[in-house]
Structures are given as structure tokens and as C-alpha cells.
């Protein structure tokens, strides 16, 4: 069982996508054995069906829960938590993705204690500048240090927005047939 969470939803989403892609590559190229559930729209019956269904042409199933910890713990959620604690096995890979930090509620602690936690918090400025440089290189952009600092000042730690700005800069430099961006 893996819980991917944190205030940096850009990197946590990327990690979730990497986990699903790795599962598909190793066990299920077509994705037939990946089930996804979202927050309050999850019913106990749907979860029982997902766990009860035999894997199709694969040795494992992956079950992904998104924003499942967001709402207050209801009786339905407590029932689901208890069920999940007893169902974690070698046949299932259970992944929770949570935007933001994990709320601490007694019914959830059993799941949290037995899970591998992967936390993604927003970068501080030095890490953010390094991330910008790395992403710029991946897009064939040559950003000088001043341009990187300017992006941090103007956009802040929102990696979704920074990624979009870098995509725009990449498109601009390709149109101008250059790769250099100066601040």
C-alpha cells in the first residue's frame, strides 16, 4: 500500500502516473487491471467488486484511490477503511493519491501506519530554481540564472504554472529558432 500526498500536486501527480505506468509495464500493458476511485464518489460495493474481480491476463491488480482522505470520515468510509486494511495482499497494489496533507483521523491511522508514505511538499527557492533549470533543459531551453529567479518571483512555487510558462517559452524560442532566454 502506497500513499502519495502533499501540497505539490504537480510532482505527486507525476509520481502517481509513474506508479501506474510501471504497473502497466510490468504486469498489464493494456491497463485492464487498474481500477480508479475518486473521493466521496466511492461506494463500498464498487470496492468489493474491484477486489473480488480476478486479474485479467495479469498476476496483480492495481487499485487507485484519489482524494479519498479529503472528506470527514463517515460510516461508509470507516467501513471501506476496515475492508482495505484486511485486503492488502500480494494480489493487489493499493495506491492512495491525496492533494494536500493527510488529515489524521483514528479510522484512517491503520491504513496510514501500514502504508509506504511518499510526501511532496512545495519547493523552497533554491530547489525551485534547480527544478526550473532541469525542466528548462528537458525542453531545450537555456535559461540564465536571472531568468530563473525572475520566474520564481513572478510565478512562485506553483509547478503547474511554472511548467506552463516553460512550455510557452519553449514554443516561443522554437519559433524564433533560438534556445536562450535571458532575464
Q: What tens digit of pLDDT does each residue of 94-151 get?
A: 999 999 888 765 556 666 777 899 999 999 999 999 999 999 999 999 888 899 999 9
176, three cell numbers:
524564433
Give the count of beta carbons closer than 10 Å to the beta carbon of residue 84.
22
Q: Which residue in this structure is represented by grid cell 525572475?
A: 150
Whether the predicted pLDDT of 58 surpasses 90: no
β-partners of residue 92 are 61
Does residue 71 carry a pLDDT above 70? no
Select from 3.40.50.740, 3.40.50.2300, 3.40.50.300, 3.40.50.1100 the CATH code of 2-119: 3.40.50.300
Q: What is the pTM for the complete model shown?
A: 0.83
Cα–Cα distance measured from residue 55 to residue 146, given in angstroms and rounded to the nearest whole number: 53
Task: State yes or no: pLDDT of 61 exceeds 60.
Answer: yes
CA distance 12 to 6: 7
Cα angle for residues 55, 40, 81 (degrees, 5° grid): 60
- Other CB atoms within 10 A of residue 79 CB: 13
Report whether 99 contacts 67 (CB < 8 A).
yes
Domains 2-119 and 125-181 share a fold: no
Q: For residue 162, which of 171, 172, 152 has the smallest C-alpha distance? A: 152
* 54-70 per-residue burial string, b: 16 or more CB within 10 A, e: under 16: eeeebeebbbbbbbbbe
**Of residues 20 and 145, which shows the higher confidence score?**
20
Name the CATH code of domain 125-181 (choices 1.10.10.10, 1.10.8.60, 3.40.50.300, 3.40.640.10): 1.10.8.60
Bridge partners of 181, per DSSP, are 143
Domains of the chain, residue spans: 2-119, 125-181
Amino acid at each position: 500500500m502506497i500513499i502519495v500526498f502533499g501540497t505539490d500536486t504537480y510532482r505527486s501527480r507525476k509520481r502517481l502516473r509513474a506508479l501506474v505506468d510501471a504497473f502497466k509495464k510490468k504486469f498489464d500493458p493494456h491497463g485492464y487491471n487498474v481500477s480508479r476511485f475518486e473521493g466521496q464518489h466511492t461506494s463500498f460495493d464498487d470496492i468489493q467488486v474491484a477486489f473480488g474481480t480476478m486479474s485479467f491476463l495479469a498476476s496483480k491488480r492495481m487499485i487507485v484511490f484519489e482524494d479519498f482522505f479529503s472528506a470527514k470520515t463517515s460510516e461508509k468510509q470507516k467501513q471501506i477503511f476496515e475492508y482495505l486494511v484486511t485486503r492488502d495482499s500480494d494480489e493487489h497494489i493499493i495506491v492512495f493519491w491525496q492533494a494536500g496533507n493527510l488529515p489524521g483521523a483514528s479510522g484512517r491511522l491503520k491504513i496510514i501506519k501500514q502504508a509506504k508514505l511518499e510526501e511532496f511538499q512545495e519547493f523552497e527557492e533554491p530547489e525551485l530554481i534547480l527544478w526550473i533549470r532541469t525542466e528548462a533543459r528537458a525542453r531545450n531551453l537555456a535559461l540564465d540564472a536571472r531568468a530563473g529567479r525572475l520566474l520564481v518571483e513572478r510565478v512562485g512555487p506553483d509547478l503547474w504554472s511554472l511548467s506552463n510558462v516553460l512550455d510557452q517559452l519553449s514554443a516561443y524560442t522554437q519559433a524564433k529558432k533560438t534556445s536562450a532566454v535571458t532575464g
